[in-house]
């Protein structure tokens, strides 16, 4: 069992809102952010997407960045989300100077690379966006906006990147290396991965329907979310209140196939089991599970198998919130962690939008946002290509509020 880590700040930018309050309102109202393509310059207008409803120029203005500065859409969304998290936690520049930053992304600066690629190669003059292609630069652009962190690293495990960034930050706090770690992920939509997912034939031209018998693929989304993780001592010293507690986590590899999950959901099963053990909790302690639930036939079936294996006939309320936000790929782990924190703090169950038909061998997801019992302990799943499967266990901070 590992030490609990305190979450003292959280920020989010997504298709359903540009901060926690807007996201909460959308979740409670059952209002999806998925719509026709508006911002991404793509030929594929047939796929609905969960875009952040801002242009890069608008974000640059909101952040008060020089218009000619080198930025990417991923870094801009990241800065906006991180600003909310740092404001929440009331971090000073001195706090930042002894904190770690761990960020997850896969596309990095691909939005600029795919736009300027031929110019990168053919033009002898150095295009200013060449240097921002990689993941590491993306993290540095985001965190440098706020000050000089003591440590910066980038995790790239496809759709579990942000979850693994959270895990890495928590591990460094548990090891006593840092008191504070700002963790999460950011990912904008690109033609590169929209076409990649399309080539795999896993995009739905309709609104996605996680865990529904008729599900036929995912809707991509974009966004960013960051958490401020903190040790108990640091939180007390700074006299700040926790929003939630990260009680445990699991990181495993399904080790089955580059794009498909093992039929019995070995990776998802092991990830959730490890998170429970790490937190010292039992299956009966879990009040809600935010599933990976992409709405692909393969994911939802194998995740259901894993849930049945772990919880047998007492599966807690489960939902996928991907029909709200779209699948935000590398950012999904932290975006859904913030959704879980909102669920715990506001005592509701995020519903599984667009669900109508019970799937064969599948779980029955949450359709009523009113919980039967308090929402205290929550699992949050993120699974990536290659079987990079991770699960986070988030808890209510109520017992610490009374101290």
Partner 1 sequence: MTRNSFYIKSTAQISIQQPLCEDWMENPIWYDSNYVRSLEPDYKQYIPPMEARRMTRIMKRSLTTSNVAIKKSGLVLPDAIITGTGWGCMDNTEQFLEILCNEGEQLLKPTLFIQSTHNTISSHIAINTCNNGYNITYSHRCVSFDMALFDAYLQYKFGKIDSALVGSHDEVTPTSFVLLKKMGLVGCDDEICGEASVSTVLSSTPSDAHSAVAAIRIIYKPSVSEIHSTVNQLLADAEMCTEDISAVMVGISGNKTTDNLYYDIVDNCFRDKTILHYKHVFGECFSASAFGFYAADCCLKHGYIPDFLYVDKSQGMIGTPKTILLINHSDGKTFSFILLRSV
Return the active site residues.
159, 292, 327
Instruction: Give which of 379, 376, 380 is closest to 396, Cα–Cα.
Output: 376
As measured in angstroms, the least distance from the Cβ of 364 to partner 1 is: 28
Q: Kindly list the distances between the CA atom of residue 309 and the CA atoms of 49, 106, 265, 266, 399, in Å, as whole numbers in the listed order.
A: 33, 31, 9, 9, 31
Residue (42 or 56) nearer to partner 1, CB: 42
Which residues bind to partner 1, rule: CB under 8 A? 42-44, 106, 108, 113-114, 117-118, 120-121, 126-127, 130-131, 133-137, 139-140, 148-158, 164, 168, 171-172, 174-175, 177, 191-193, 195-201, 251-259, 266-267, 270, 384-388
Q: Which helix (H) or strand (E) holds 121?
A: helix 110-122
Say which residue the tokens 């909102």 belong to. Answer: 342
Nearest to 104 by CA among 387, 382, 394, 344: 382
Sequence-ordered strand ranges (E) for 335-387: 377-384
Tokens of 104: 């997850």
Task: Locate 183 and state its tokens.
Answer: 């963790």
Q: Say if strands 180-187 and 377-384 run parallel, antiparallel, or are unpaired.
A: unpaired
Residue of 374, 288, 340 lying closest to 24 (CA atoms): 340
């Amino acid at each position: 069992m590992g030490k609990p880590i305190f979450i003292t700040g959280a920020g989010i930018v997504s298709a359903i809102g540009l901060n926690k309050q807007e996201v909460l309102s959308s979740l409670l109202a059952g209002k999806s952010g998925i719509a026709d393509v508006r911002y991404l310059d793509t030929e594929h207008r047939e796929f609905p997407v969960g875009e952040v409803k801002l242009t890069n120029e608008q974000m640059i203005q909101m952040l008060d960045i020089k218009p000619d500065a080198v930025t990417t859409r991923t870094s801009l969304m990241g800065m906006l989300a991180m600003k909310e998290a740092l404001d929440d936690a009331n971090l000073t520049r001195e706090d930042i100077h002894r904190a770690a930053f761990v960020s997850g992304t896969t596309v990095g600066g691909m939005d600029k690379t795919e736009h300027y690629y031929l110019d990168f190669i053919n033009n002898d003059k150095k295009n200013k966006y060449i240097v921002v292609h990689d993941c590491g630069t993306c993290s540095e652009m985001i965190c440098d906006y706020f000050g000089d962190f003591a440590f910066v690293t980038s995790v790239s495990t496809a759709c579990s990147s942000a979850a693994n960034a959270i895990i890495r930050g928590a591990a460094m706090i548990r090891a006593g290396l840092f008191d504070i770690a700002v963790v999460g992920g950011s990912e904008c939509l690109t033609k590169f991965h929209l076409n990649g997912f399309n080539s795999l034939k896993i995009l739905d031209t309709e609104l996605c329907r996680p865990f529904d018998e008729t599900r036929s693929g995912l809707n991509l989304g974009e966004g960013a979310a960051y958490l401020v993780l903190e040790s108990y001592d640091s939180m007390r010293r700074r006299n700040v209140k926790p929003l939630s507690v990260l009680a445990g986590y699991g990181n495993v590899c399904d080790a089955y196939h580059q794009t498909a999950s093992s039929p019995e959901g070995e990776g998802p099963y092991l990830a959730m089991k490890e998170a429970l053990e790490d937190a010292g909790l039992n299956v009966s302690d879990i009040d809600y599970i935010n599933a990976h639930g992409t709405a692909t036939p393969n994911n939802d079936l194998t995740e259901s198998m894993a849930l049945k294996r772990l919880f047998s006939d007492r599966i807690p309320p489960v939902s996928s919130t991907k029909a709200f936000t779209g699948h935000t790929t590398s950012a999904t782990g932290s975006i859904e962690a913030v959704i879980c924190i909102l669920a715990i703090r506001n005592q509701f169950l995020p519903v599984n939008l667009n669900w109508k038909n019970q799937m064969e061998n599948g779980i029955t997801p949450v359709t009523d946002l009113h919980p039967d019992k308090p929402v205290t302990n929550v699992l949050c799943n993120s699974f990536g290509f290659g079987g990079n499967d991770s699960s986070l266990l988030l808890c209510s901070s109520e017992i610490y509020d009374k101290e």
